[in-house]
Structure 1
Amino acid sequence: MNNLKNLREVMKKENIDYYIIPSSDSHQSEYVAEYFKGREFISGFTGSAGTLLVGLDKAYLWTDGRYFIQAENELKNSGISLMKINTPGYPTMEEWIRDNLKENDVLGFDGRLFSVNQYESYLNIANEKKFSINMEKDLLEDIWNKRSELPKNKIFLHDEKYAGKSAGEKLNEVRNNMDKKCADSFILSSLDDIAWLCNIRGNDVKFNPVALSYVIVGKDYATLYIDKDKVDNETKDKLKSEGFEIKGYDDIEADVKLLSGTVVLDPNKLNAKIFTALNREIKVIREVNVTTNLKAIKNETEIANWELSQVRDGVAMVKFIKWLKENIGKEKISEISASEKLTGFRAMGENYKGDSFGTIAGYKDHAAMMHYSATEASEYELKAEGMFLVDSGAQYLDGTTDITRTFILGPITEEEKIDYTLVLKGHIGLASAKFLRGSTGVNLDILARRPLWNYGIDYKCGTGHGVGFFLNVHEGPQGIRPSGNNVVLEPGMILTNEPGVYKEGKHGIRTENTLIVEKDFVSEEFGEFYKFRTISYCPIDLDGVNVEMLSSEEKEWLNNYHEMVFGKLSPYLSEEEKEFLKRETRTI
């Protein structure tokens, strides 16, 4: 509350009536370095998604259904009201601003933290309602005394034996796309796209192997804008040989002013400050970054490597499950200590570089919070009863993993068993899908929800997201959700399959695997059909399954999946571990 009060004092000095603090950084990243966590600093809300609007006498925080329970808890007594996104009775932030800001009011925000599209949306409202926008200053600079500095971590090269293509080859693909559009330059600001294009990785954002940087590609040049202290001579020489010049991170602000002709940019990724520095005479082509689409379709080398990392990850998961099942009730195990144990098993594997996100380990009602993060103050001790949800993943040089299992630690209620089985039925429904070329994730989302809808249950989030290759665990452009994504699914795309049930105060259940889109068959009459192949290898806890609720096809899928899991993982397990896995993958 003191931080909120101090911000309001600065707002008064700067003649700003309302100030917006988003969750993003200067690159519109989902997960950000500590330096950019201003929304958390002011509000106390620690979720990864949310936007704070502070007025001189009131404040509001907008977030989505993954965080409603968490936000209600963390915002208590803060003076900040929770606004629930996509919930009847709650306006969007744009609607609230349109309805409440008055003529001559000033709306402020840091222009680096807003995309072109976001900025223009507010600008249109401002013009309509005759208030003004001030995006020139980061007001937190004056009040955040212990703010972390921008990270200074060294970048490193991602070997072509993993990536499958050189940075120079990727650069040529970008230029070919530019040529088709008669474009003179391409501005790239999304960090995972830059890491993919340049075959570099970094450590600037926890769990995401990226580095704060920009790229401008011209017809005969390419420039990587990055803190030069992060680049050693070997990396510099390699990048130069692939066609990249290196300049300082902040030099881009001057260089964009010099661009002419036609420039291609992604208005959802480029920030407003850089965009408004462009010459007004320049022609702008707005589209999703071509690199986003290129990296979404994994090449044969990436897919082969990914298979290796998934098997390695499955081995770690089996070791963890065995430890958990055999020690529950015999020694003290908490949500945090279980998470640390799983990280330890993964760290024993080849090419391990860290977790791919903060492990979500929720016991009993904690699991009802989709993105629950245990603390020493909040964590539960696990008992030989109820359910324990663990959503986790790892970064390997040869792949990124993301998997969720809900473990049955002892007796559960009939309601819990029904819900567990419904989630499994939804998971199987999507995993088994065969679909016509041209289908999107929106077309397929209902396959995962239908068993739950039949019981009047839903989950307030998407069913699946893209996954990066030793990159961000959440990667676009593809996704599986009820609406809002019209990206056609293509062979080589990776997505997750993660339906769930979340009942506040009771329990949370999620079963998640990773899928790859593959060609299935061609019909002369109806065209080409695709399918999903599951590439996560880990037993699904059969102790929670009500077998009578499964169809013969669903039982067959589950038995076949478990047979595959045993075949993939058993060569890397001890005899004792094999026997354990045999029980966990038994035929039903």
Structure 2
Amino acid sequence: MRQSFEEAADRSFASRHLPRLRAELDKQGLDGLIVPHEDEHQNEYLPEANERLAWVSGFTGSAGAAVVMKDRAAIFTDGRYTVQVRDQVDPAFFEYLDLVEGGPPAFIEGQAKGAVIGYDPRLHSPTALAHLTRAAQKAGATLKAVEANPIDLAWATDRPAQPQAPVVPHPDDLSGESSESKRHRIGRMIADAGADAAVLTAPSSLAWLFNVRGGDVIRTPLPLGQAIVDKDGHARLFLDPAKVTDGLATWLGNEVALQVPSALPAALQALKGQAVLIDPAQSSAWYFDELERAGAQVVRGADPCILPRSAKNEVEIEGSRQAHIRDGAALSNFLHWVATTAQDDLPTEDEVVTVLEGFREATGTLKDLSFDTIAGAGPNGALPHYRPVRRTIRRVEEGSLLLVDGGGQYLDGTTDVTRTMAIGTPTDEQKNRFTRVLKGHIALSVVRFPPGTTGTQLDVLARLPLWMAGLDYDHGTGHGVGSYLGVHEGPQRIAKAANTQPLLPGMILSNEPGYYKEGHWGIRIENLQVVTAAAPIEGGERPMLGFETLTMAPIDRRLIEVGLLSDAERAWMDAYHAEVLAKVGPLMDGEARAWLETACAPL
């Protein structure tokens, strides 16, 4: 598990592991090595055995990269991990650089003149590799594909085994569509793309297409493997036999052949002369190299499972509703604890995390968290996506704010919710900023928009109340969420950055505007919501789409400056709280239930 690796990681990793890695670089005649965070499946969260970046540096964040040279090394992270990377990585061995502004390509272009830089083609997508290749050409450097990853060789003696979690059926009454139906639908899409077959390497696509779930990746119920799907809907699924549970072959049916991973290279070679669809953003360069060597016609295109997976069916949407009600009860019990016990005890951030996770576990239906819980007290809350790590842990303080972002994986849905809470009496400034964030959140909840609208076109709605006060936030407003799959799922997104994917009915997205006062406190309000067909608008001339809110948990009334809200915004707030009380209230009792009634009272 990634969590156990993280607990073991410390600043000594670089001093202990860099010499071992550099010895392997010398053996292979390399001047350096590119170390991405991603593994062979381009996962966001990794099994312990694939935490190569963490092994060499000690950094355990979910996004990053490093370049290790003979005499220096650099680690690249984005703004989410500014604190964490400094806590975990020794600056005596690694220079801290920005992943977004330049990243490894800029480092190679400026710092690797004439060098021979190794890379593992199994870990880089063709798109990412193209950027690195251009940078190397500008530097007069050479990129060299390695047969054996130098990190794997250096790590060989104490590297954990690859995960072998059981792969189990995900029943049709939870998935809403049989695997056979999905495979034939995907087969038609493959044919429409002008291909004879498709190679799938994204674990989420395997889980969705074959209606299975696994446990190879922490925080996401994914099985690691690959598949080749023919245009007639027949498929070969490559899984470690140790993962194959009794009855899985029967569940998959006669049109799916289970094969061992070692058979994959030969299966790719057998595609000679065929047109093969493969996604350059999802699959590593190794697959493209193998298909080209086999003499297949490579058809570059999106993984055909991505869009159907993102547009949830009615069974999945109803499952998400029910998961959010149970999760909302757990979260409401936690919010009651914050509003009472925590106000006097002033717990530490890690204690806050333990309490929230305990309430989720108490539901009896939690399979895993959907990501590591974020709890930011005071100044730490001003770091978007901060998470308590060792020396950074703070105690909740009177007069400040507590920002908590967490979620759960349930068989019927995946949750992700953020609440910001006042500790003691909030200041006028805190209430003003919170209410502006709330106004943006409400705007994105009630908007109606015509089919064909993208998340990019809606993003401004969430920011406008902040912009009008000269304020903003530096992260996206919404990401896609899976159905008992990844908490981050594309292609849907709401952000300033251009995104050409229209929002479709059934897509689940987060709605999470925020505001962060550096060095003081942070605010974020996050609900999940699903795209639906909107009710006809009186006098309207076109059909419209809208959002249905899924998350059910109260928003801290003490932080709302009611005078800043319009009548319509107040009506939305009261209606939302009434719905929370009606749906979550029956799952709570005692003092917590009484508190919920007060927390959800009309403004």
Structure 1 SS opposite 2:402: strand
Alignment of 1:29 with 2:43, yes or no, is yes
* CA deviation profile, 1:202-245 (whole Å, cap 9, x unmatched): 1111110001110111245311111111111211221134x211
Do the aligned partners of 2:332 and 2:553 also contact (CA within 8 Å) in 1? yes
Aligned residue in 1 for 2:154? 143
Alignment partner for residue 182 of structure 2, among 152, 165, 170? 170
Match of 1:571, as an amino acid? P
Aligned residue in 2 for 1:192? 204
Match of 1:264, as an amino acid? L
Do the aligned partners of 1:183 and 1:262 also contact (CA within 8 Å) in 2? yes
Q: Distance in 1 between matches of 2:473 and 2:89?
A: 23
Structure 1 SS opposite 2:122: helix
Aligned residue in 1 for 2:244? 231
Deviation, structure 1 residue 35: 1.4
Alignment partner for residue 320 of structure 1, among 334, 351, 355? 334
Do the aligned partners of 2:415 and 2:487 also contact (CA within 8 Å) in 1? yes
Alignment partner for residue 514 of structure 2, among 500, 511, 515? 500
Q: Which runs of 5+ in 2 are unaligned?
A: 1-13
Aligned residue in 2 for 1:98? 109
Structure 1 SS opposite 2:298: strand
Q: Distance in 2 between matches of 1:254 and 1:422?
A: 58
Structure 1 SS opposite 2:291: coil
Aligned residue in 2 for 1:111? 121
Do the aligned partners of 1:68 and 1:84 also contact (CA within 8 Å) in 2? no
Structure 2 matches for 1:74-93, cutoff 5 A?
74-75=88-89, 77-86=91-100, 90-93=101-104
Do the aligned partners of 1:65 and 1:461 also contact (CA within 8 Å) in 2? no
Do the aligned partners of 1:70 and 1:369 also contact (CA within 8 Å) in 2? no
Structure 2 matches for 1:360-509, cutoff 5 A?
360-375=374-389, 377-509=391-523
Alignment partner for residue 159 of structure 1, among 148, 171, 174? 171
Structure 2 matches for 1:256-275, cutoff 5 A?
256-260=268-272, 261-275=274-288
Q: Distance in 2 between matches of 1:525 and 1:111?
A: 53
Alignment partner for residue 202 of structure 1, among 203, 206, 214? 214
Do the aligned partners of 2:237 and 2:257 also contact (CA within 8 Å) in 1? yes
Deviation, structure 1 residue 376: 5.1
Q: Distance in 1 between matches of 2:83 and 2:426?
A: 23
Q: Distance in 1 between matches of 2:529 and 2:196?
A: 38
Structure 2 SS opposite 1:27: coil
* CA deviation profile, 1:526-554 (whole Å, cap 9, x unmatched): 53321111110000001112222222222
Do the aligned partners of 2:188 and 2:231 also contact (CA within 8 Å) in 1? no
Do the aligned partners of 1:563 and 1:585 also contact (CA within 8 Å) in 2? yes
Do the aligned partners of 2:399 and 2:422 also contact (CA within 8 Å) in 1? yes
Do the aligned partners of 1:47 and 1:371 also contact (CA within 8 Å) in 2? no
Q: CA distance change for structure 1 residues 65 and 455 in 2, over 3 Å: closer, same or farther?
A: farther
Aligned residue in 1 for 2:4? none
Structure 2 SS opposite 1:361: strand
Moved more, 77-86 or 243-252: 77-86
* CA deviation profile, 1:339-383 (whole Å, cap 9, x unmatched): 222222222325321211111111111212222222454433335
* CA deviation profile, 1:441-492 (whole Å, cap 9, x unmatched): 1111111122222333322221111101011111111011111421110111
Structure 1 SS opposite 2:380: helix
Do the aligned partners of 2:108 and 2:139 also contact (CA within 8 Å) in 1? no
Structure 2 matches for 1:532-543, cutoff 5 A?
532-543=547-558
* CA deviation profile, 1:308-355 (whole Å, cap 9, x unmatched): 111111111111111232212544633222222222222232532121
Relative to the length of structure 2, the TM-score reads: 0.92
Alignment partner for residue 585 of structure 2, among 562, 570, 580? 570
Aligned residue in 1 for 2:289? 276
Q: Distance in 1 between matches of 2:502 and 2:379?
A: 37
Q: Which runs of 5+ in 1 are unaligned?
A: none
Deviation, structure 1 residue 126: 4.3
Do the aligned partners of 1:395 and 1:401 also contact (CA within 8 Å) in 2? yes
Q: CA distance change for structure 1 residues 149 and 504 in 2, over 3 Å: closer, same or farther?
A: farther
Q: Distance in 2 between matches of 1:68 and 1:288?
A: 32
* CA deviation profile, 1:558-583 (whole Å, cap 9, x unmatched): 11211111122122222543321111
Q: Distance in 1 between matches of 2:371 and 2:356?
A: 13
Moved more, 91-100 or 307-316: 91-100
Match of 1:113, as an amino acid? L
* CA deviation profile, 1:371-396 (whole Å, cap 9, x unmatched): 22224544333355421111111111
* CA deviation profile, 1:288-321 (whole Å, cap 9, x unmatched): 1110111100001111111111111111111111
Do the aligned partners of 1:66 and 1:461 also contact (CA within 8 Å) in 2? no
Do the aligned partners of 2:514 and 2:522 also contact (CA within 8 Å) in 1? yes
Alignment partner for residue 123 of structure 1, among 108, 117, 133? 133
Aligned residue in 1 for 2:7? none
Identity percentage over the alignment? 34
Moved more, 364-373 or 386-395: 364-373
Q: CA distance change for structure 1 residues 455 and 274 in 2, over 3 Å: closer, same or farther?
A: same
Structure 1 SS opposite 2:333: helix
Aligned residue in 2 for 1:579? 594
Q: Distance in 2 between matches of 1:98 and 1:377?
A: 35
Q: Distance in 2 between matches of 1:342 and 1:154?
A: 28
Match of 2:406, as an amino acid? S
Match of 1:94, as an amino acid? P
Deviation, structure 1 residue 125: 4.5
Structure 1 SS opposite 2:594: helix
Relative to the length of structure 1, the TM-score reads: 0.94
Q: Distance in 1 between matches of 2:216 and 2:406?
A: 20
Aligned residue in 2 for 1:299? 313
Structure 2 SS opposite 1:477: strand
Q: CA distance change for structure 1 residues 16 and 458 in 2, over 3 Å: closer, same or farther?
A: farther
Structure 2 SS opposite 1:290: coil
Structure 1 SS opposite 2:381: helix
Structure 2 SS opposite 1:49: coil
Q: Distance in 2 between matches of 1:328 and 1:180?
A: 58
Do the aligned partners of 2:374 and 2:404 also contact (CA within 8 Å) in 1? yes
Match of 1:493, as an amino acid? M
Deviation, structure 1 residue 162: 0.5
Deviation, structure 1 residue 129: 5.4
Moved more, 10-19 or 475-484: 10-19
Deviation, structure 1 residue 521: 5.0
Q: Distance in 1 between matches of 2:429 and 2:344?
A: 27
Q: CA distance change for structure 1 residues 219 and 519 in 2, over 3 Å: closer, same or farther?
A: closer
Match of 1:580, as an amino acid? W
Aligned residue in 1 for 2:54? 40
Moved more, 118-127 or 172-181: 118-127
Q: CA distance change for structure 1 residues 238 and 441 in 2, over 3 Å: closer, same or farther?
A: same
Deviation, structure 1 residue 251: 2.3
Aligned residue in 2 for 1:544? 559
Moved more, 120-129 or 302-311: 120-129
Q: Distance in 2 between matches of 1:432 and 1:404?
A: 19
Structure 2 SS opposite 1:345: helix
Structure 2 SS opposite 1:548: helix
